[in-house]
Amino acid sequence: MLDGEQQTTLNSLRWHWEQAYAVNCDGTTWTAIPAAAPETVLTAATGMELRTLMQHDYAARAMRAGATAARWAGGCST
């Protein structure tokens, strides 16, 4: 069961990243599965750590695809 702060963070991450990642939390571990690479699972101890991992992962994928990383890294603020 998530506490109120965790649920708020989960809702926010899902809202901001729903097109790119499936975001979950079991109360201890935060996970994000990229839509572009469903075999990959990002894990973190907190929602904010997961957000940072997703930002870096998203920017790296954009760079590999030839997009401007700065455009994508700042595209999702939460």
Contact 42, 50 (CB under 8 A): yes
3-class SS at 25?
A: strand
**pLDDT of the chain, 78 residues: tens digit per residue:** 899 999 999 999 999 999 999 999 999 999 999 999 999 999 999 999 999 999 999 989 888 877 654 554 555 544
44 within domain boundaries: yes
Cα end-to-end distance, the chain, whole Å: 22
Q: Distance between CA 15 and CA 41 in Å, rounded?
A: 19
77 within domain boundaries: no
Domain count of the chain? 1
| Number of alpha helices (DSSP H) and beta strands (DSSP E) in the chain | 3, 3
17 within domain boundaries: yes
Query: Residue 64: what pLDDT?
Result: 82
